[in-house]
Structure 1
Protein backbone atom coordinates (compact mmCIF):
# COMPACT_ATOMS: atom_id res chain seq x y z
CA UNK A 1 0.00 0.00 0.00
CA UNK A 2 3.02 2.29 0.13
CA UNK A 3 2.28 3.59 -3.37
CA UNK A 4 -1.07 5.05 -2.24
CA UNK A 5 -1.04 8.82 -2.62
CA UNK A 6 0.16 10.53 0.61
CA UNK A 7 0.69 7.15 2.29
CA UNK A 8 3.75 8.62 4.02
CA UNK A 9 1.44 10.90 6.02
CA UNK A 10 -0.43 7.96 7.58
CA UNK A 11 0.47 7.50 11.24
CA UNK A 12 -2.04 4.74 11.99
CA UNK A 13 -3.75 2.02 9.93
CA UNK A 14 -6.16 -0.55 11.38
CA UNK A 15 -8.01 -3.27 9.48
CA UNK A 16 -11.83 -3.26 9.70
CA UNK A 17 -13.55 -6.65 9.73
CA UNK A 18 -17.22 -5.83 9.10
CA UNK A 19 -19.67 -6.18 6.24
CA UNK A 20 -20.13 -8.52 3.28
CA UNK A 21 -18.04 -6.51 0.82
CA UNK A 22 -14.97 -8.17 -0.67
CA UNK A 23 -13.09 -4.87 -0.23
CA UNK A 24 -10.31 -4.72 2.33
CA UNK A 25 -11.18 -1.84 4.63
CA UNK A 26 -8.93 0.17 6.93
CA UNK A 27 -9.26 3.00 9.41
CA UNK A 28 -6.40 5.45 8.96
CA UNK A 29 -5.10 8.59 10.66
CA UNK A 30 -2.68 11.13 9.18
CA UNK A 31 -0.01 13.28 10.79
CA UNK A 32 -2.34 16.30 10.42
CA UNK A 33 -5.10 14.57 12.43
CA UNK A 34 -7.35 13.53 9.54
CA UNK A 35 -9.41 10.37 10.05
CA UNK A 36 -9.93 8.36 6.89
CA UNK A 37 -11.52 5.21 5.50
CA UNK A 38 -9.35 3.30 3.04
CA UNK A 39 -10.95 0.68 0.78
CA UNK A 40 -8.73 -1.60 -1.33
CA UNK A 41 -10.01 -3.88 -4.11
CA UNK A 42 -8.52 -6.13 -6.76
CA UNK A 43 -7.46 -4.34 -9.95
CA UNK A 44 -10.01 -6.41 -11.90
CA UNK A 45 -12.67 -4.20 -10.24
CA UNK A 46 -11.08 -0.96 -11.47
CA UNK A 47 -13.92 0.19 -13.73
CA UNK A 48 -16.60 -0.73 -11.18
CA UNK A 49 -14.80 1.04 -8.33
CA UNK A 50 -14.05 4.12 -10.45
CA UNK A 51 -17.74 4.35 -11.38
CA UNK A 52 -18.69 3.91 -7.73
CA UNK A 53 -16.30 6.67 -6.66
CA UNK A 54 -17.66 9.05 -9.31
CA UNK A 55 -21.23 8.35 -8.15
CA UNK A 56 -20.24 9.19 -4.57
CA UNK A 57 -18.77 12.50 -5.76
CA UNK A 58 -22.03 13.34 -7.52
CA UNK A 59 -24.13 12.52 -4.46
CA UNK A 60 -21.78 14.35 -2.07
CA UNK A 61 -22.06 17.48 -4.24
CA UNK A 62 -25.74 18.01 -3.27
CA UNK A 63 -24.90 18.22 0.43
CA UNK A 64 -25.70 14.75 1.74
CA UNK A 65 -24.25 13.90 5.18
CA UNK A 66 -21.98 11.05 4.10
CA UNK A 67 -18.48 9.62 3.95
CA UNK A 68 -16.91 12.10 1.52
CA UNK A 69 -14.83 10.77 -1.42
CA UNK A 70 -11.26 12.13 -1.33
CA UNK A 71 -9.01 10.13 -3.65
CA UNK A 72 -9.02 7.20 -6.05
CA UNK A 73 -6.13 5.36 -7.67
CA UNK A 74 -4.09 2.23 -8.30
CA UNK A 75 -1.73 0.72 -5.72
CA UNK A 76 0.22 -2.47 -4.87
CA UNK A 77 2.26 -2.19 -8.02
CA UNK A 78 -0.83 -2.15 -10.22
CA UNK A 79 -2.51 -5.13 -8.52
CA UNK A 80 -5.09 -3.20 -6.50
CA UNK A 81 -7.33 -0.16 -6.69
CA UNK A 82 -8.04 2.09 -3.70
CA UNK A 83 -10.59 4.65 -2.52
CA UNK A 84 -9.91 7.13 0.26
CA UNK A 85 -12.97 8.56 2.03
CA UNK A 86 -13.52 10.69 5.10
CA UNK A 87 -14.14 8.72 8.29
CA UNK A 88 -17.62 9.21 9.81
CA UNK A 89 -17.35 9.33 13.58
CA UNK A 90 -20.20 7.72 15.49
CA UNK A 91 -22.08 4.45 15.84
CA UNK A 92 -24.11 2.40 13.40
CA UNK A 93 -27.73 3.50 13.47
CA UNK A 94 -28.68 -0.16 13.82
CA UNK A 95 -26.96 -0.26 17.21
CA UNK A 96 -28.10 3.15 18.49
CA UNK A 97 -31.77 3.37 17.45
CA UNK A 98 -33.26 0.84 19.94
CA UNK A 99 -31.87 2.86 22.85
CA UNK A 100 -33.59 6.09 21.74
CA UNK A 101 -37.12 7.28 22.41
CA UNK A 102 -39.73 6.44 19.78
CA UNK A 103 -40.06 10.11 18.89
CA UNK A 104 -36.31 10.51 18.29
CA UNK A 105 -36.23 7.31 16.22
CA UNK A 106 -39.07 8.71 14.10
CA UNK A 107 -37.22 12.03 13.68
CA UNK A 108 -34.07 10.29 12.47
CA UNK A 109 -36.24 8.38 10.01
CA UNK A 110 -37.75 11.66 8.84
CA UNK A 111 -34.22 12.91 8.12
CA UNK A 112 -33.43 9.73 6.15
CA UNK A 113 -36.47 10.40 3.95
CA UNK A 114 -35.23 13.95 3.29
CA UNK A 115 -31.79 12.59 2.39
CA UNK A 116 -33.30 10.27 -0.20
CA UNK A 117 -35.30 13.08 -1.78
CA UNK A 118 -32.14 15.17 -2.00
CA UNK A 119 -30.18 12.29 -3.59
CA UNK A 120 -32.84 12.00 -6.30
CA UNK A 121 -32.04 15.50 -7.53
CA UNK A 122 -28.62 14.37 -8.76
CA UNK A 123 -29.79 12.31 -11.74
CA UNK A 124 -33.29 11.12 -12.62
CA UNK A 125 -35.23 9.70 -15.57
CA UNK A 126 -38.99 9.71 -16.31
CA UNK A 127 -41.11 6.54 -16.23
CA UNK A 128 -40.31 4.04 -18.99
CA UNK A 129 -39.96 0.30 -19.64
CA UNK A 130 -36.22 0.40 -18.87
CA UNK A 131 -36.48 -0.58 -15.22
CA UNK A 132 -38.84 -3.49 -15.98
CA UNK A 133 -36.24 -4.88 -18.37
CA UNK A 134 -33.34 -4.33 -15.99
CA UNK A 135 -34.98 -5.73 -12.88
CA UNK A 136 -36.85 -8.47 -14.74
CA UNK A 137 -33.51 -9.82 -15.94
CA UNK A 138 -32.16 -9.57 -12.40
CA UNK A 139 -35.08 -11.59 -11.03
CA UNK A 140 -34.44 -14.31 -13.63
CA UNK A 141 -30.85 -14.56 -12.41
CA UNK A 142 -32.08 -14.70 -8.81
CA UNK A 143 -34.27 -17.68 -9.72
CA UNK A 144 -31.35 -19.44 -11.43
CA UNK A 145 -29.05 -18.91 -8.43
CA UNK A 146 -31.73 -20.08 -6.03
CA UNK A 147 -32.46 -23.27 -7.97
CA UNK A 148 -28.74 -24.02 -8.08
CA UNK A 149 -28.13 -23.44 -4.35
CA UNK A 150 -29.56 -26.81 -3.29
CA UNK A 151 -31.44 -25.48 -0.23
CA UNK A 152 -35.08 -24.51 0.36
CA UNK A 153 -36.15 -21.11 1.63
CA UNK A 154 -39.12 -20.85 3.97
CA UNK A 155 -42.20 -19.79 1.97
CA UNK A 156 -40.63 -20.73 -1.37
CA UNK A 157 -43.93 -21.48 -3.14
CA UNK A 158 -45.57 -18.27 -1.91
CA UNK A 159 -42.63 -16.15 -3.03
CA UNK A 160 -42.29 -17.62 -6.49
CA UNK A 161 -46.03 -17.53 -7.15
CA UNK A 162 -46.25 -13.91 -6.00
CA UNK A 163 -43.37 -12.83 -8.23
CA UNK A 164 -44.67 -14.67 -11.28
CA UNK A 165 -48.15 -13.17 -10.90
CA UNK A 166 -47.10 -9.56 -10.43
CA UNK A 167 -44.13 -8.85 -12.71
CA UNK A 168 -46.32 -6.28 -14.53
CA UNK A 169 -45.98 -3.99 -11.50
CA UNK A 170 -42.47 -3.17 -12.74
CA UNK A 171 -43.83 -1.45 -15.85
CA UNK A 172 -43.48 2.30 -16.37
CA UNK A 173 -41.25 3.14 -13.42
CA UNK A 174 -38.99 6.22 -13.03
CA UNK A 175 -35.30 5.79 -12.21
CA UNK A 176 -32.91 7.87 -10.09
CA UNK A 177 -29.32 7.76 -8.85
CA UNK A 178 -29.63 6.46 -5.29
CA UNK A 179 -27.93 4.57 -2.48
CA UNK A 180 -29.15 1.04 -3.28
CA UNK A 181 -28.91 -0.32 0.28
CA UNK A 182 -30.16 2.61 2.33
CA UNK A 183 -30.89 1.00 5.70
CA UNK A 184 -29.69 1.20 9.30
CA UNK A 185 -26.61 -0.98 8.71
CA UNK A 186 -25.35 1.70 6.32
CA UNK A 187 -26.12 4.75 8.43
CA UNK A 188 -24.17 6.29 11.29
CA UNK A 189 -25.41 8.54 14.08
CA UNK A 190 -22.67 10.98 15.03
CA UNK A 191 -21.85 12.24 18.56
CA UNK A 192 -23.61 15.47 17.46
CA UNK A 193 -26.77 13.44 16.73
CA UNK A 194 -26.56 13.84 12.97
CA UNK A 195 -27.46 11.04 10.57
CA UNK A 196 -24.84 10.04 7.98
CA UNK A 197 -24.99 7.64 5.03
CA UNK A 198 -22.05 5.28 4.47
CA UNK A 199 -21.15 2.32 2.21
CA UNK A 200 -22.37 3.45 -1.20
CA UNK A 201 -21.12 0.23 -2.84
CA UNK A 202 -23.61 -1.05 -5.40
CA UNK A 203 -25.42 2.27 -5.71
CA UNK A 204 -26.71 3.34 -9.09
CA UNK A 205 -29.70 4.22 -11.25
CA UNK A 206 -32.70 2.41 -9.78
CA UNK A 207 -36.44 2.71 -9.19
CA UNK A 208 -36.69 4.90 -6.07
CA UNK A 209 -39.22 2.46 -4.61
CA UNK A 210 -36.57 -0.23 -4.90
CA UNK A 211 -34.13 1.92 -2.92
CA UNK A 212 -36.84 2.41 -0.30
CA UNK A 213 -36.97 -1.31 0.50
CA UNK A 214 -34.23 -0.56 3.02
CA UNK A 215 -37.04 0.57 5.33
CA UNK A 216 -38.08 -3.08 5.65
CA UNK A 217 -34.63 -4.07 6.88
CA UNK A 218 -34.50 -1.14 9.29
CA UNK A 219 -37.99 -1.97 10.59
CA UNK A 220 -36.58 -5.06 12.27
CA UNK A 221 -34.59 -2.66 14.48
CA UNK A 222 -36.84 0.41 14.54
CA UNK A 223 -40.34 0.49 13.04
CA UNK A 224 -40.52 4.13 14.18
CA UNK A 225 -37.49 5.08 12.06
CA UNK A 226 -38.90 3.27 9.02
CA UNK A 227 -42.31 4.90 9.46
CA UNK A 228 -40.71 8.33 9.77
CA UNK A 229 -38.64 7.75 6.64
CA UNK A 230 -41.73 6.82 4.60
CA UNK A 231 -43.79 9.73 5.95
CA UNK A 232 -40.99 12.17 5.12
CA UNK A 233 -40.35 10.77 1.65
CA UNK A 234 -44.01 10.69 0.63
CA UNK A 235 -45.09 13.84 2.43
CA UNK A 236 -47.45 11.98 4.73
CA UNK A 237 -49.60 9.42 2.93
CA UNK A 238 -47.81 6.33 1.58
CA UNK A 239 -49.37 5.33 -1.79
CA UNK A 240 -50.74 1.85 -2.44
CA UNK A 241 -48.43 1.51 -5.44
CA UNK A 242 -45.41 1.69 -3.14
CA UNK A 243 -46.66 -1.12 -0.89
CA UNK A 244 -47.27 -3.37 -3.89
CA UNK A 245 -43.81 -2.81 -5.38
CA UNK A 246 -42.19 -2.99 -1.96
CA UNK A 247 -43.62 -6.49 -1.42
CA UNK A 248 -42.49 -7.53 -4.90
CA UNK A 249 -38.95 -6.30 -4.31
CA UNK A 250 -38.77 -7.87 -0.86
CA UNK A 251 -39.85 -11.23 -2.27
CA UNK A 252 -37.24 -11.09 -5.04
CA UNK A 253 -34.41 -9.85 -2.84
CA UNK A 254 -35.18 -12.49 -0.20
CA UNK A 255 -34.64 -15.21 -2.80
CA UNK A 256 -31.35 -13.62 -3.80
CA UNK A 257 -30.21 -13.13 -0.20
CA UNK A 258 -30.93 -16.77 0.59
CA UNK A 259 -28.86 -18.03 -2.37
CA UNK A 260 -25.97 -15.86 -1.17
CA UNK A 261 -26.45 -17.05 2.42
CA UNK A 262 -26.03 -20.68 1.33
CA UNK A 263 -22.51 -19.83 0.14
CA UNK A 264 -21.68 -18.29 3.54
CA UNK A 265 -22.71 -21.10 5.87
CA UNK A 266 -25.52 -22.49 7.99
CA UNK A 267 -25.67 -19.53 10.36
CA UNK A 268 -26.51 -17.18 7.48
CA UNK A 269 -29.01 -19.70 6.06
CA UNK A 270 -30.79 -19.86 9.42
CA UNK A 271 -30.85 -16.06 9.65
CA UNK A 272 -32.33 -15.76 6.15
CA UNK A 273 -35.09 -18.21 7.04
CA UNK A 274 -35.88 -16.31 10.23
CA UNK A 275 -36.07 -13.05 8.29
CA UNK A 276 -38.35 -14.73 5.77
CA UNK A 277 -40.69 -15.91 8.51
CA UNK A 278 -40.84 -12.37 9.90
CA UNK A 279 -41.56 -10.92 6.47
CA UNK A 280 -44.36 -13.40 5.76
CA UNK A 281 -45.87 -12.49 9.12
CA UNK A 282 -45.62 -8.75 8.33
CA UNK A 283 -47.45 -9.34 5.02
CA UNK A 284 -49.83 -12.01 6.34
CA UNK A 285 -48.49 -14.39 3.66
CA UNK A 286 -48.99 -11.64 1.03
CA UNK A 287 -52.66 -11.24 1.90
CA UNK A 288 -51.97 -7.70 3.18
CA UNK A 289 -49.11 -5.80 1.53
CA UNK A 290 -48.97 -3.08 4.18
CA UNK A 291 -46.60 -4.59 6.76
CA UNK A 292 -47.98 -5.05 10.25
CA UNK A 293 -45.22 -2.90 11.82
CA UNK A 294 -46.33 0.22 9.91
CA UNK A 295 -48.53 2.72 11.74
CA UNK A 296 -50.21 5.38 9.61
Structure 2
Protein backbone atom coordinates (compact mmCIF):
# COMPACT_ATOMS: atom_id res chain seq x y z
CA UNK A 1 0.00 0.00 0.00
CA UNK A 2 0.99 3.66 -0.37
CA UNK A 3 2.75 4.69 2.85
CA UNK A 4 3.45 8.31 1.87
CA UNK A 5 0.88 9.73 4.28
CA UNK A 6 2.34 7.88 7.27
CA UNK A 7 5.90 8.75 6.29
CA UNK A 8 5.13 12.46 6.04
CA UNK A 9 2.87 12.53 9.11
CA UNK A 10 5.43 10.78 11.32
CA UNK A 11 8.60 12.17 9.76
CA UNK A 12 9.95 8.72 8.87
CA UNK A 13 12.98 8.24 6.67
CA UNK A 14 12.52 4.69 5.43
CA UNK A 15 9.99 1.83 5.50
CA UNK A 16 11.19 -1.75 4.86
CA UNK A 17 8.68 -4.61 4.23
CA UNK A 18 8.86 -7.62 6.56
CA UNK A 19 7.88 -10.83 4.78
CA UNK A 20 8.38 -13.32 7.61
CA UNK A 21 5.40 -14.67 9.53
CA UNK A 22 1.83 -15.90 9.04
CA UNK A 23 -0.08 -12.79 10.10
CA UNK A 24 -2.65 -11.18 7.81
CA UNK A 25 -1.18 -7.80 8.79
CA UNK A 26 1.22 -5.99 6.49
CA UNK A 27 4.43 -5.53 8.49
CA UNK A 28 7.24 -3.02 8.04
CA UNK A 29 10.38 -1.95 9.81
CA UNK A 30 10.33 1.83 10.08
CA UNK A 31 13.52 3.90 10.27
CA UNK A 32 12.92 7.37 11.68
CA UNK A 33 14.99 10.39 10.75
CA UNK A 34 16.65 10.07 14.14
CA UNK A 35 17.76 6.54 13.21
CA UNK A 36 15.35 4.73 15.55
CA UNK A 37 13.70 1.50 14.37
CA UNK A 38 9.96 0.91 14.89
CA UNK A 39 7.52 -1.81 13.86
CA UNK A 40 4.51 -0.88 11.73
CA UNK A 41 1.53 -3.24 11.35
CA UNK A 42 -1.25 -2.35 8.91
CA UNK A 43 -4.68 -4.01 9.06
CA UNK A 44 -8.08 -3.66 7.47
CA UNK A 45 -10.36 -1.17 9.20
CA UNK A 46 -12.95 -3.91 9.70
CA UNK A 47 -10.59 -5.32 12.35
CA UNK A 48 -10.69 -2.12 14.45
CA UNK A 49 -12.40 -3.69 17.49
CA UNK A 50 -10.09 -6.71 17.50
CA UNK A 51 -7.04 -4.48 17.12
CA UNK A 52 -8.16 -2.27 19.99
CA UNK A 53 -8.43 -5.33 22.20
CA UNK A 54 -5.01 -6.54 21.01
CA UNK A 55 -3.52 -3.10 21.76
CA UNK A 56 -4.97 -3.22 25.29
CA UNK A 57 -3.62 -6.72 25.91
CA UNK A 58 -0.14 -5.70 24.77
CA UNK A 59 -0.35 -2.74 27.17
CA UNK A 60 -0.89 -5.26 29.97
CA UNK A 61 2.16 -7.28 28.88
CA UNK A 62 4.13 -4.04 28.66
CA UNK A 63 3.71 -3.50 32.41
CA UNK A 64 6.53 -6.00 32.81
CA UNK A 65 10.21 -5.04 32.45
CA UNK A 66 11.03 -7.97 30.13
CA UNK A 67 12.43 -7.29 26.66
CA UNK A 68 9.48 -7.19 24.26
CA UNK A 69 7.67 -5.19 21.60
CA UNK A 70 5.90 -2.21 23.19
CA UNK A 71 2.85 -0.49 21.73
CA UNK A 72 3.05 3.19 20.81
CA UNK A 73 -0.23 3.97 19.06
CA UNK A 74 -3.17 2.60 17.11
CA UNK A 75 -4.87 4.88 14.59
CA UNK A 76 -6.89 4.94 11.40
CA UNK A 77 -5.19 5.95 8.15
CA UNK A 78 -7.28 8.80 6.69
CA UNK A 79 -9.04 8.26 3.36
CA UNK A 80 -8.25 4.53 3.36
CA UNK A 81 -9.83 1.32 4.62
CA UNK A 82 -6.84 0.66 6.85
CA UNK A 83 -5.63 1.13 10.41
CA UNK A 84 -2.10 0.92 11.75
CA UNK A 85 -0.42 -0.10 14.96
CA UNK A 86 3.02 1.25 15.79
CA UNK A 87 5.30 -0.63 18.18
CA UNK A 88 8.89 -0.53 19.33
CA UNK A 89 11.28 -2.64 17.27
CA UNK A 90 13.29 -5.27 19.11
CA UNK A 91 16.81 -5.45 17.71
CA UNK A 92 18.47 -8.84 17.35
CA UNK A 93 18.12 -12.11 15.45
CA UNK A 94 15.29 -14.59 15.08
CA UNK A 95 15.95 -17.08 17.91
CA UNK A 96 14.74 -20.01 15.79
CA UNK A 97 17.60 -19.46 13.34
CA UNK A 98 20.16 -18.85 16.10
CA UNK A 99 19.46 -21.89 18.31
CA UNK A 100 21.18 -24.48 16.08
CA UNK A 101 24.36 -22.37 16.21
CA UNK A 102 24.52 -22.36 20.02
CA UNK A 103 25.90 -24.90 22.45
CA UNK A 104 23.47 -27.34 24.06
CA UNK A 105 23.97 -25.58 27.39
CA UNK A 106 23.12 -22.20 25.87
CA UNK A 107 20.00 -23.59 24.19
CA UNK A 108 18.75 -24.99 27.48
CA UNK A 109 19.60 -21.82 29.43
CA UNK A 110 17.74 -19.64 26.92
CA UNK A 111 14.77 -21.97 27.31
CA UNK A 112 14.88 -21.48 31.08
CA UNK A 113 14.92 -17.70 30.53
CA UNK A 114 12.01 -17.86 28.08
CA UNK A 115 10.00 -20.09 30.44
CA UNK A 116 10.38 -17.58 33.27
CA UNK A 117 9.17 -14.79 30.98
CA UNK A 118 6.11 -16.84 29.97
CA UNK A 119 5.33 -17.48 33.63
CA UNK A 120 5.44 -13.74 34.31
CA UNK A 121 3.03 -13.18 31.42
CA UNK A 122 0.58 -15.65 32.94
CA UNK A 123 0.78 -13.99 36.37
CA UNK A 124 -0.49 -10.62 35.15
CA UNK A 125 -3.70 -9.75 37.00
CA UNK A 126 -6.88 -9.72 34.90
CA UNK A 127 -10.56 -9.69 35.81
CA UNK A 128 -12.65 -11.93 33.55
CA UNK A 129 -15.45 -14.47 33.66
CA UNK A 130 -13.27 -17.59 33.88
CA UNK A 131 -16.10 -20.11 33.59
CA UNK A 132 -17.43 -18.49 30.41
CA UNK A 133 -13.95 -18.32 28.80
CA UNK A 134 -13.17 -21.96 29.59
CA UNK A 135 -16.54 -23.22 28.33
CA UNK A 136 -16.01 -21.26 25.12
CA UNK A 137 -12.56 -22.83 24.77
CA UNK A 138 -13.96 -26.33 25.29
CA UNK A 139 -16.68 -25.73 22.69
CA UNK A 140 -14.07 -24.43 20.25
CA UNK A 141 -11.90 -27.54 20.61
CA UNK A 142 -14.86 -29.89 20.08
CA UNK A 143 -16.00 -27.84 17.08
CA UNK A 144 -12.51 -28.12 15.58
CA UNK A 145 -12.49 -31.86 16.24
CA UNK A 146 -15.80 -32.24 14.44
CA UNK A 147 -14.49 -30.24 11.49
CA UNK A 148 -11.64 -32.71 11.17
CA UNK A 149 -14.00 -35.68 11.44
CA UNK A 150 -16.07 -34.25 8.59
CA UNK A 151 -12.98 -34.01 6.38
CA UNK A 152 -11.49 -36.56 3.99
CA UNK A 153 -8.76 -37.31 6.54
CA UNK A 154 -11.08 -38.76 9.20
CA UNK A 155 -10.47 -42.26 7.83
CA UNK A 156 -6.71 -42.14 8.43
CA UNK A 157 -5.48 -45.12 10.50
CA UNK A 158 -5.51 -44.63 14.30
CA UNK A 159 -7.54 -41.41 14.18
CA UNK A 160 -10.05 -43.06 16.50
CA UNK A 161 -7.43 -43.17 19.28
CA UNK A 162 -6.94 -39.41 19.17
CA UNK A 163 -10.65 -38.67 18.76
CA UNK A 164 -11.55 -40.82 21.77
CA UNK A 165 -8.95 -39.14 23.98
CA UNK A 166 -9.97 -35.62 22.96
CA UNK A 167 -13.69 -36.27 23.47
CA UNK A 168 -13.22 -37.98 26.82
CA UNK A 169 -10.86 -35.36 28.20
CA UNK A 170 -12.18 -32.01 26.94
CA UNK A 171 -13.94 -31.58 30.32
CA UNK A 172 -10.51 -30.97 31.88
CA UNK A 173 -10.43 -27.55 30.24
CA UNK A 174 -13.22 -26.48 32.62
CA UNK A 175 -10.97 -27.25 35.60
CA UNK A 176 -8.19 -24.91 34.46
CA UNK A 177 -7.34 -21.36 35.48
CA UNK A 178 -7.34 -18.43 33.07
CA UNK A 179 -4.61 -15.95 32.18
CA UNK A 180 -3.35 -13.66 29.48
CA UNK A 181 -1.82 -15.67 26.64
CA UNK A 182 0.88 -14.61 24.22
CA UNK A 183 -0.86 -16.97 21.84
CA UNK A 184 2.12 -18.00 19.71
CA UNK A 185 5.03 -18.49 22.10
CA UNK A 186 7.85 -20.33 20.32
CA UNK A 187 11.36 -19.62 19.06
CA UNK A 188 10.06 -18.11 15.81
CA UNK A 189 8.44 -15.31 17.79
CA UNK A 190 11.38 -14.75 20.10
CA UNK A 191 14.43 -12.61 19.50
CA UNK A 192 18.03 -13.33 20.45
CA UNK A 193 18.91 -9.77 21.36
CA UNK A 194 22.23 -8.08 20.82
CA UNK A 195 23.07 -8.59 24.50
CA UNK A 196 22.29 -12.35 24.21
CA UNK A 197 18.95 -12.20 26.00
CA UNK A 198 15.49 -13.45 25.03
CA UNK A 199 13.05 -10.86 23.72
CA UNK A 200 9.38 -11.41 22.83
CA UNK A 201 7.60 -10.17 19.69
CA UNK A 202 4.41 -10.84 17.69
CA UNK A 203 1.59 -10.46 20.21
CA UNK A 204 -1.04 -10.38 17.45
CA UNK A 205 -2.42 -13.78 18.51
CA UNK A 206 -2.60 -12.81 22.18
CA UNK A 207 -5.75 -13.84 23.99
CA UNK A 208 -7.19 -14.86 27.36
CA UNK A 209 -7.47 -18.56 28.15
CA UNK A 210 -5.85 -21.61 29.73
CA UNK A 211 -2.15 -20.81 30.30
CA UNK A 212 -1.22 -24.44 29.58
CA UNK A 213 -2.58 -24.05 26.05
CA UNK A 214 0.55 -22.01 25.28
CA UNK A 215 2.76 -25.11 25.32
CA UNK A 216 1.40 -27.43 22.65
CA UNK A 217 3.12 -25.54 19.80
CA UNK A 218 6.46 -26.14 21.49
CA UNK A 219 5.88 -29.89 21.27
CA UNK A 220 4.22 -29.76 17.83
CA UNK A 221 6.81 -27.54 16.16
CA UNK A 222 9.42 -26.14 18.54
CA UNK A 223 11.29 -29.32 19.38
CA UNK A 224 12.23 -29.70 15.72
CA UNK A 225 14.61 -26.74 16.02
CA UNK A 226 15.82 -27.39 19.58
CA UNK A 227 14.50 -30.02 21.98
CA UNK A 228 16.74 -28.63 24.73
CA UNK A 229 15.22 -25.18 24.34
CA UNK A 230 11.71 -26.64 24.68
CA UNK A 231 12.70 -28.60 27.77
CA UNK A 232 14.27 -25.45 29.20
CA UNK A 233 11.06 -23.46 28.72
CA UNK A 234 9.03 -26.07 30.60
CA UNK A 235 11.56 -26.38 33.42
CA UNK A 236 11.97 -22.60 33.68
CA UNK A 237 8.22 -22.09 33.80
CA UNK A 238 7.68 -24.68 36.53
CA UNK A 239 10.96 -24.09 38.38
CA UNK A 240 12.08 -27.70 37.77
CA UNK A 241 8.91 -29.22 39.27
CA UNK A 242 6.52 -30.05 36.44
CA UNK A 243 3.08 -31.08 37.79
CA UNK A 244 1.05 -33.99 36.47
CA UNK A 245 -1.81 -31.57 35.72
CA UNK A 246 0.39 -29.91 33.10
CA UNK A 247 1.13 -33.18 31.34
CA UNK A 248 -2.58 -34.07 31.26
CA UNK A 249 -3.45 -30.82 29.50
CA UNK A 250 -0.38 -30.96 27.26
CA UNK A 251 -1.44 -34.39 26.02
CA UNK A 252 -4.97 -33.14 25.37
CA UNK A 253 -3.87 -30.05 23.42
CA UNK A 254 -1.20 -31.91 21.43
CA UNK A 255 -3.51 -34.76 20.37
CA UNK A 256 -6.31 -32.32 19.56
CA UNK A 257 -3.99 -30.16 17.45
CA UNK A 258 -2.54 -33.25 15.77
CA UNK A 259 -5.94 -33.67 14.14
CA UNK A 260 -7.03 -30.09 13.63
CA UNK A 261 -3.70 -28.96 12.14
CA UNK A 262 -4.40 -31.26 9.18
CA UNK A 263 -7.72 -29.52 8.50
CA UNK A 264 -6.06 -26.13 9.00
CA UNK A 265 -3.30 -26.95 6.52
CA UNK A 266 -5.79 -28.17 3.95
CA UNK A 267 -7.58 -24.81 4.06
CA UNK A 268 -4.52 -22.56 4.07
CA UNK A 269 -1.34 -24.41 3.07
CA UNK A 270 -2.17 -27.61 1.22
CA UNK A 271 1.49 -28.34 0.62
CA UNK A 272 1.88 -28.86 4.40
CA UNK A 273 -0.88 -31.46 4.80
CA UNK A 274 1.48 -34.44 4.52
CA UNK A 275 3.84 -32.84 7.03
CA UNK A 276 0.95 -32.39 9.49
CA UNK A 277 -0.06 -36.03 9.04
CA UNK A 278 3.53 -37.08 9.78
CA UNK A 279 3.44 -34.95 12.94
CA UNK A 280 0.17 -36.59 13.99
CA UNK A 281 1.76 -40.04 13.87
CA UNK A 282 4.92 -38.80 15.58
CA UNK A 283 2.83 -37.37 18.42
CA UNK A 284 0.87 -40.59 18.68
CA UNK A 285 4.14 -42.53 18.90
CA UNK A 286 5.43 -40.12 21.57
CA UNK A 287 2.38 -41.05 23.66
CA UNK A 288 2.72 -44.77 22.86
CA UNK A 289 -0.63 -44.78 21.01
CA UNK A 290 -2.22 -42.80 23.83
CA UNK A 291 -1.08 -45.06 26.68
CA UNK A 292 1.54 -42.66 28.09
CA UNK A 293 0.86 -39.45 29.98
CA UNK A 294 4.34 -37.96 29.54
CA UNK A 295 5.74 -38.06 25.98
CA UNK A 296 8.82 -40.14 25.22
CA UNK A 297 10.86 -37.10 24.11
CA UNK A 298 10.81 -35.75 27.67
CA UNK A 299 12.93 -38.66 28.93
TM more than 0.5: yes
Contact 1:3 / 1:77 at 8 angstroms: preserved in 2? Answer: no
The alignment status of 1:229 with 2:237, answered yes or no, reads no
Q: Give the alignment partner of residue 287 of structure 1, picking from 281, 284, 291.
A: 291
Q: Which string of whole-angstrom CA distances, capped at 9 and with x for unpartnered residues, describes residues 200-256 of structure 1?
A: 112121111112324313222211111111112112121111111101011222333
* Correspondence for 1:122: 124
The alignment status of 1:31 with 2:36, answered yes or no, reads no
Q: Which string of whole-angstrom CA distances, capped at 9 and with x for unpartnered residues, describes residues 136-194 of structure 1?
A: 11113213432454445674222211101212222321101121111111111112211
Distance 1:265 1:122, change over 3 A: closer
Within 5 Å, which residues of 2 pair with 1:85-104? 85-104=87-106
Q: Which string of whole-angstrom CA distances, capped at 9 and with x for unpartnered residues, describes residues 66-95 of structure 1?
A: 111111111152411111111222222111
Task: Give the deviation of 1:8 after TM superposition.
Answer: 4.5
Number of residue pairs the alignment of both structures matches: 295
Contact 2:11 / 2:32 at 8 angstroms: preserved in 1? Answer: yes
Within 5 Å, which residues of 2 pair with 1:83-232? 83-124=85-126, 129-152=131-154, 155-216=158-219, 217-232=221-236
Contact 2:40 / 2:86 at 8 angstroms: preserved in 1? Answer: yes
Q: Following the alignment from structure 1 to structure 2, what is the Cα–Cα distance between the partners of residues 126 and 2?
A: 41
Contact 1:154 / 1:273 at 8 angstroms: preserved in 2? Answer: no
- TM-score by structure 1 length? 0.91
SS, match of residue 41 in structure 2: strand
Q: Following the alignment from structure 2 to structure 1, what is the Cα–Cα distance between the partners of residues 79 and 59?
A: 26
Distance 1:239 1:125, change over 3 A: farther
Q: Following the alignment from structure 2 to structure 1, what is the Cα–Cα distance between the partners of residues 9 and 289?
A: 54
Q: Following the alignment from structure 1 to structure 2, what is the Cα–Cα distance between the partners of residues 60 and 30?
A: 22
Task: Give the deviation of 1:266 after TM superposition.
Answer: 3.1
Task: Give the deviation of 1:44 after TM superposition.
Answer: 0.6
Richer in helix (by share)? 2
SS, match of residue 244 in structure 1: helix
- TM-score by structure 2 length? 0.91
Indicate the larger mover: 279-288 or 152-161. Answer: 152-161
* Correspondence for 1:264: 268
* Correspondence for 1:74: 76
The alignment status of 1:14 with 2:16, answered yes or no, reads yes
